Structure 1
């Protein structure tokens, strides 16, 4: 069928639904950098979702969980603790006790490779990109399932300021600002952004007569940008995110009353993330581009949590972890004929202090450990035209890692590994606005040590993934409709899985293998007359091919925390007068909370609403999150011991002023 025939057919279908389409409107071009080189969204031979910071702010989305709801195949494990968000992508999950992740989060080139600190409040953000499929070729360890790439707004010659105040359910108060101004025109610029949010909890402590889970968050970013000439661009950035929360969103799995506890132990989460980085880009006379990113990423995880939810202090856990990573990356990129290439060097050093406390009726046990590590890597990435419509993307990375571990000041243990991570993609531009691609890529998750387990199960090896993907993407209807689809298969070997030898004695081993099969689709469509539709749908089937532990044989069972389906449908109307209204429905299928599939979180759908009205330079907006007040508690968390409660409906008003 010819392209014009297809377009006429689609226009006829839309007309039959009573939808008007205007040829003069089109979706704006989107440039993404998750591949470490600027590319249009439609030219990347991989599954990528991109979200503009302004669109996220208009929808009232200020965290990565909101981004995940709009992205096919991407969710988070229910934890009920701020700052601790294990990501789930394409059926691959992360065990928080392993201090690693299946997905990397990168903010302005600085990586976070653990679930601890895998969070961002999207303050001053220009764009969020979600790149799915193994990305170890470019990002190394712990990017075996994908990357979340966050790009913040750069200050420049144009003064900029946005201030917003917000009130909402459960006595929520929030103040946010984002501002920048040139200090010296064309040379020196300053950007600052900040946020303060506090909100009462919803879990009743019947013993103490109060809410147990109040939330408070402080967040700030600082950027000093220097452009001494046309060829050089340097940015010094500092970001801090602090949580000063009450107890986790936990309760007893056997409680007859929802969201009611009788805890005598005061729970709290006092965690802080700090990042300092220097990002320098210089264009050489030859046309090549050199980039250096030096960063110190620091996260303190301090928490106390009751686990029996009774007045007597019989069972509780406490953490006081300090994660420090110093990293350096150099990248050189350019063109060789019609080919685009990139080559780089990466090195980092980890220095983690770990302190874990567990209270039982018999004893109070405290364990202290030190985990250090070094890694170095060389990588390259090429995009080479083969013919008029054909091109190939190829990349490779070799990474050497060493980890060292000491428990309670005892004997030091070490673990070395060297991984080679290739990627190959073939792309065919079958029409000017449409292409198909096929790719194969390897990814891996780092090995490590079980900090709080028996000595016989101290170490575990890297987890390996090989992925095959077939996809199509493009634009239709004179660029009013943008789509992307993909099919994938991933084989996981030496799979890192959680086992429990004795009650309270949890550790990671390479005791399983699995296969993940799935399909994803997403589209954006300008219906015309101010209407816009955004949709995403993901199917995934991740099952153990082999896995046996003390609880039995888990062959064929679901990988914990991995849903079989995710979906999103959003509709927005922008009126000529400047006001807007939007509604979105997002859904996630049921997930199991353990390898034996005994405990689960049910599937659920959430309805979110938002509207805004302009008042000169100001805007008054309202939002409703979880409008149907859907309850989707994770019952049976911690091997059947606890329930992670889902938050209730939230209603809010926001006043925003822009210069």
Structure 2
């Protein structure tokens, strides 16, 4: 510690100038797969800069909830975020909101990386983005860009210490290996904490977890026109108690962060993403190719609790070695863009993928199985499924400048997809080395899907810093085949159709007072047909999807950023969503139920985030500055089941940060959910509830060069 304090003093009193912000960032985004100014594109986009990622203290993609209007990311507790934008929500393993990291589509809920590591910028496109992004971008796109190496030697090191044993250490380094030719970038994060929940069964932390992630770049400049970038990302996540669920809303709130489960285990979750990008810059057009490989192996060392109670009723087994429960995806995209030197600016390309998803999972009925409705005990139903998928798409979009004020927008994409699945169900008594009979014979099925995704729009430049646009776009979420369940009333390999949306949007982007005030407004109206409705099948803990209804979603959004006085930053985002099923017929307990008029799940009717940050110099030359920041987050009423029985009333969350900043270092103290508000973050339709994170606090020491 004697060495620690002089080190801090040296860093904080360095001659570097800690600049006070006196104008809003002029943000360049790649939302339309080419570099453009944020305020000049006819798309509703929220851009979170690298500085804002640090200011909001964003460690995970779920924490951008309400930072972006009408975005909510539910946290089931197992690391797979369920994201909703404008009432379009993920209800199956095919997400409704697509996530891209450095151009690579995070294909499904298993393969995506939620940890935010060395971020340059986060772009969130709201509304269907089918033309350029294709399948599963019905709600929008989260486009994450990490920092890449250049000719400058840059780097950082960061340590975070907090309550609940929080420890998060991050480091990054970027440098030229050969100037103007070969560059290296490396960054990594270790993140760990004790459990928020206590398991009364053994009086131990239930969800103690830690992870190690890395991001590695090698960039080679061939010549003035060609470059290549190799990128590898990985995450190794370990969670001692992934399903932090309590039966019943009242029980969850009366005994917060307590549960009682007899089956305890460690979740092992390993994800690898690798990509090779080749880029060409030409006079007439630019070209890029990206080849990507993703894999995720996720399993539980021992059985996990399927009844979320202390009885030996039902448990789930999926530890069957490296050949099972390992998703693998290969993607390839070729893209051409205009050089932006003419009145017609365009983007065109192709995209293909190949998916391999072998799943083996057993539902085990123990000594107390009769309490769960099973006439027998001490046996397992082993479900084996081998799924394969292939898809190809062609797309194009362009903007034509009619004159100084008017632009026309048009785009079209065609997607074709083929899915095949083979299933086998076996009955395995305890003590038997092999299954004794098949309750579901080995059988297979396949299904083909295709879709056209058009886009039309008009952009009007009302003034130099005021733009209006109106667009129509169509969204598309892929269809599929149902999984195998132990319940004989749920037949496997049932093909459900794609889900489609039609979206109309009116937007206005405005900058005032010499770029010290930015106000963006959007209105939207969307209809979703052949809505894919999930049904959780117990005790297998799998989701069966059916096309069961029509959804209507409409609302408004406002984004405001201002610098009213020197040193004071104000950011306010608010969104309103009314998402309601116009038709919805589902089966509950063997009976047909009409749920027309019910609200969409995982969709707050309002999201709001107000952030105030004040930074003031404390030395004459401004080498040291004090910073204080407060955030008020409001989430409106929302539901977690189709019947709208599981309801979370509106609630507020308060976050704060304060400390000392220089150009090369900062020491900040932070707190999240100050006041320790209890609220539902996720719930299953049968009543199992997961609470949002409790009050947390700690400090950050960050050094950069």
TM range (shorter): over 0.9
Q: 1:88 aligns with which of 84, 88, 91?
A: 84
Quote the residue 2:8 is aligned against. Answer: none
Q: 1:418 aligns with which of 425, 450, 460?
A: 450
Within 5 Å, give how 1:166-565 maps onto structure 2: 166-247=160-241, 248-253=243-248, 255=251, 257-284=255-282, 286-303=283-300, 305-319=304-318, 321-334=325-338, 335=340, 337-360=342-365, 361=369, 362=374, 363-408=379-424, 410-453=442-485, 454-455=490-491, 458-499=494-535, 506-551=543-588, 552-565=593-606
Kindly state the Cα deviation for residue 267 of structure 1 after the two structures are TM-superposed.
3.4
What SS is found at the alignment partner of 2:89? Answer: coil
What SS is found at the alignment partner of 1:651? Answer: strand
Distance 1:432 1:603, change over 3 A: same
Kindly state the Cα deviation for residue 377 of structure 1 after the two structures are TM-superposed.
0.9
Within 5 Å, give how 1:70-81 maps onto structure 2: 70-81=67-78
Quote the residue 2:656 is aligned against. Answer: 609
Quote the residue 2:610 is aligned against. Answer: 569
Quote the residue 2:669 is aligned against. Answer: 622
1:307–1:642 CA contact under 8 A, matched in 2: no
1:85–1:119 CA contact under 8 A, matched in 2: no
Q: Residues of 2 paired with 1:221 and 1:204: CA distance? A: 33
What SS is found at the alignment partner of 1:66? Answer: helix
Measured on the aligned residues, the alpha-carbon RMSD in Å equals 2.0
Q: Deviations over 1:52-80 (max 9, x none)?
A: 12321233211112223310011112412
1:85–1:118 CA contact under 8 A, matched in 2: no
Q: Deviations over 1:331-362 (max 9, x none)?
A: 11114731111110111111111223323414
Q: 1:49 aligns with which of 46, 50, 54?
A: 46
Distance 1:336 1:570, change over 3 A: closer
Q: Deviations over 1:229-256 (max 9, x none)?
A: 2212211000001210111322232645
In the alignment, structure 1 residue 639 sits paired with structure 2 residue 685? yes
In the alignment, structure 1 residue 134 sits paired with structure 2 residue 149? no
Number of aligned residue pairs: give it. Answer: 632
What SS is found at the alignment partner of 1:579? Answer: strand
In the alignment, structure 1 residue 593 sits paired with structure 2 residue 593? no
Q: Deviations over 1:287-314 (max 9, x none)?
A: 3111001000112232453243433321
Distance 1:621 1:90, change over 3 A: same
Quote the residue 1:12 is aligned against. Answer: none
Kindly state the Cα deviation for residue 549 of structure 1 after the two structures are TM-superposed.
1.7
Quote the residue 2:93 is aligned against. Answer: 99
What SS is found at the alignment partner of 1:455? Answer: coil
2:343–2:402 CA contact under 8 A, matched in 1: no
Q: Deviations over 1:268-300 (max 9, x none)?
A: 32112210000111113x331110010001122
Distance 1:223 1:316, change over 3 A: same
Kindly state the Cα deviation for residue 500 of structure 1 after the two structures are TM-superposed.
5.9
Q: Residues of 2 paired with 1:310 and 1:389: CA distance? A: 64
After TM superposition, the structure 1 stretch with the greater mean CA deviation from structure 2, 342-351 or 359-368, is 359-368
Q: Residues of 2 paired with 1:309 and 1:328: CA distance? A: 42
Q: Residues of 1 paired with 2:524 and 2:481: CA distance? A: 31
What SS is found at the alignment partner of 2:514? Answer: coil
Within 5 Å, give how 1:11-50 maps onto structure 2: 25-50=22-47
2:504–2:524 CA contact under 8 A, matched in 1: yes
Q: Residues of 2 paired with 1:288 and 1:338: CA distance? A: 14
Q: Residues of 2 paired with 1:487 and 1:358: CA distance? A: 47
Distance 1:379 1:135, change over 3 A: same
1:540–1:565 CA contact under 8 A, matched in 2: yes
2:346–2:396 CA contact under 8 A, matched in 1: yes
Unaligned runs of 5+ in 1: 1-23
Kindly state the Cα deviation for residue 323 of structure 1 after the two structures are TM-superposed.
1.7
In the alignment, structure 1 residue 653 sits paired with structure 2 residue 699? yes
2:363–2:539 CA contact under 8 A, matched in 1: no
1:136–1:421 CA contact under 8 A, matched in 2: yes
Q: Residues of 2 paired with 1:499 and 1:120: CA distance? A: 25
Quote the residue 1:3 is aligned against. Answer: none
Distance 1:313 1:201, change over 3 A: same
2:111–2:327 CA contact under 8 A, matched in 1: no
Q: Residues of 1 paired with 2:118 and 2:509: CA distance? A: 29
2:113–2:271 CA contact under 8 A, matched in 1: no
1:600–1:634 CA contact under 8 A, matched in 2: no
Kindly state the Cα deviation for residue 186 of structure 1 after the two structures are TM-superposed.
0.6
Kindly state the Cα deviation for residue 616 of structure 1 after the two structures are TM-superposed.
7.5
Q: Residues of 2 paired with 1:615 and 1:145: CA distance? A: 40
1:324–1:350 CA contact under 8 A, matched in 2: yes
Kindly state the Cα deviation for residue 645 of structure 1 after the two structures are TM-superposed.
1.9
